[in-house]
Amino acid sequence: MSPVVDQNVPKLGVRNTRQRTAVVNVLQELDTFASAKNIHREITDRDLNVGLTTVYRTLQSLAEIGAVDVLQMTNGEALYRHCSTEAHHHHLVCMKCGKTEEIEGGPVEEWAAKVAKEHGFALTGHDAEIYGTCAECSEDN
């Protein structure tokens, strides 16, 4: 079974292969950050033949062009998510179920610029993610 090629899928290089389309389609359907292994497992569950190395390479290429957000976990694992906006944003991440909400930075943006300036830095970027427990998981306790 061949995946449908979504015209909104960013091209990586000169060809938009079925393997790359499979990775992007899975990312677009997930509402959580996911590891390359979990994305590969989802692709395999759909009976699509995409190697784990190809998944890693595709995710890296998507991250380089800003088509996915990447969270670096404390254990060194990278988690990936397709975001609905191209504008700079941050995330609320549930530590129980992985549910993720995109949020604006608000005061974080001003704070980052101020701190960089105070220390003689030219701000080139920052990351700020908020971790906690979503309402649904909190109700389960």
The one-letter code for the residue type at 100 is T
Give the H/E segment covering residue 114: helix 107-118
Asked whether residue 91 is marked as a ligand-binding residue, the answer is no
Asked whether residue 83 is marked as a ligand-binding residue, the answer is no
Alpha carbon distance 16, 61 (integer Å): 12
Among 83, 3, 78, CA closest to 34: 78
CB 43 within 8 A of CB 20: no
Asked whether residue 109 is marked as a ligand-binding residue, the answer is yes
> Which segments are annotated as binding site for Fe cation?
88, 109, 126
> Which segments are annotated as binding site?
88, 94, 97, 109, 126, 134, 137
